[in-house]
Amino acid sequence: MIYLAIGFPPAAKSCAYRMRETANQFINQGWDVTVVTIAQESWERDSGVDLTLLEQVDPKIRIVELPLVREDLETDIRLYSEDRALNPNGWVTRLRRRQMEPFPEPNFGEWREDLEKAVLRIHRDHPADLLLASCVPYVNLAAAWKLWEEAKVPYAVDFRDGWSIDVIDGVEAFARDSAEGVWEQRILDNALSLWVVNDPIAEHYRTRYPDFADRVHVVRNGYDADSSPGKPHRANPEAGLAFGYLGTVNFTVPHLETVLNAWRAAREKEPLLANATFEVRGHIGNGSGREANRHAEVLKQAEADGVRFGGPAAKAEVASIYARWDAMVLILIGGRYVTSGKVYEYMATGLPIVSAHVVEHDASNVLRGHPLWTGAVGIDEEGLTESFVKAAHMAVETSDEVHAEAMAHADQFTREALMTAAVKQLIDDFTALGAERTDTADDTAVAENQIVAGGPSL
């Protein structure tokens, strides 16, 4: 199998966990896997790298790193053209226009030819039976299509969050007759299967492409079992309760400010929170804006309220970080079309969870039934203040048995179990396609023999 997985480890991106488990599960099913991604140096320019992510990549996986980079993320001004240096905004505008010419996707459209050549070269040297394209970037679809056109290699697509649906605003991202719409239709007309991360996105695609509906599958992100502390936690209010957020800081500044204002109000209101801390861990921005933006400034200004920004966390550190916290703060963008991968990991900690997202969010569906969830109150300062207070009492008053019950609620969402089932289903679909092709070929051969022999034509 050729796996187009730009974001594969050691890229410090949330998609890396899903990609790693997908590739590992194909190996477990006896397949040869060649992963196509971009060079580590490219991720160092972008979101960074986490070399600990490589520790659980099956050594039998072959990784092909292409020397593709995002020009706009270059920070060495000595390498800038005169045009870029004198007119940076105009330069970016022209860059985006140029990138959209080969394929309708800003930032990545110009990668099309390199990706197409890569899959054809890999297939020539080691013929592939199946290709799986994980998006973003969506330009991976062009490479999948190229191999289908040239060699009729079946392909499947992992959209994760979808393309024609704007999961943040919950509206159509582009029209059916747009350049993007034409590409999506073309790809799905011939795809073996489509994976998405939740039911609302799946429903969007089943409605948009009714003839394709039975090939749309919900493959949730889940969590890695080794990211959980694995035992109930007992808080020590005298030492100061520790709240935490771990994840990419991709929400707006006003969203962050609302959460921090609620945190400040809760500390003033609730004695249990008087000496509490709130630690934020994760990536903030990329390229030249990494940790040098308004989000970082707001977090710095909140230090007097016990807020600390600890920077990104390596995968190997995650379980130990969760083990020292007493409650989790789940800050998410979007609504009913967004789940996030972190919600599963947060549940597995067995800790109280404060939800700082809109009420009608898919994370609410996942959390429903979790005994230590404070509930969804929206991005509302007063409501979040009460949620922080409620979580503080949960952290102090909850028994070990209830903590264990909360951890058990997440058992159904281990990434290994979810991806094992998804990969087996895809292999079954591939096997069924092979049988169908064989039957068709046999029928054609019989018909041709009958015609040659003077029998009835079919």
pLDDT in tens, 261-280: 999 999 999 999 999 999 99
For residue 450, pLDDT beyond 60: no
What band does 97 get if pLDDT is binned at 50, 70 and 90?
very high
State what percent of residues in the chain have pLDDT above 70.
Answer: 93
- Asked if residues 354 and 258 have their Cβ atoms less than 8 Å apart, the reply is no
pLDDT on residue 79? 94
Read off the pLDDT of residues 364-391 as tens digits, 9 standing for 90 and up.
Answer: 999 999 999 999 999 999 999 999 999 9
CA–CA separation, 429 and 425 (whole Å): 6
User: If DSSP codes are grouped into helix, strand and coil, which group holds residue 117?
Assistant: helix
Which secondary structure element, helix H or strand E, spans residue 326, and what is its range? Answer: none
Cis-peptide into 10, omega within 30 deg: yes
Copy the structure tokens of residue 277.
């801390």
State what percent of residues in the chain have pLDDT above 90.
Answer: 81
CA–CA separation, 26 and 411 (whole Å): 22
Copy the structure tokens of residue 243.
């709240």
Copy the structure tokens of residue 212.
């394709």
Copy the structure tokens of residue 275.
């000496």
For residue 186, pLDDT beyond 80: yes
Q: Return the C-alpha torsion angle 67, 69, 75, 78, nearest 10.
A: 60
What band does 37 get if pLDDT is binned at 50, 70 and 90?
very high
pLDDT on residue 315? 87
For residue 441, pLDDT beyond 60: no
Read off the pLDDT of residues 230-256 as tens digits, 9 standing for 90 and up.
Answer: 777 788 999 999 999 999 898 999 999
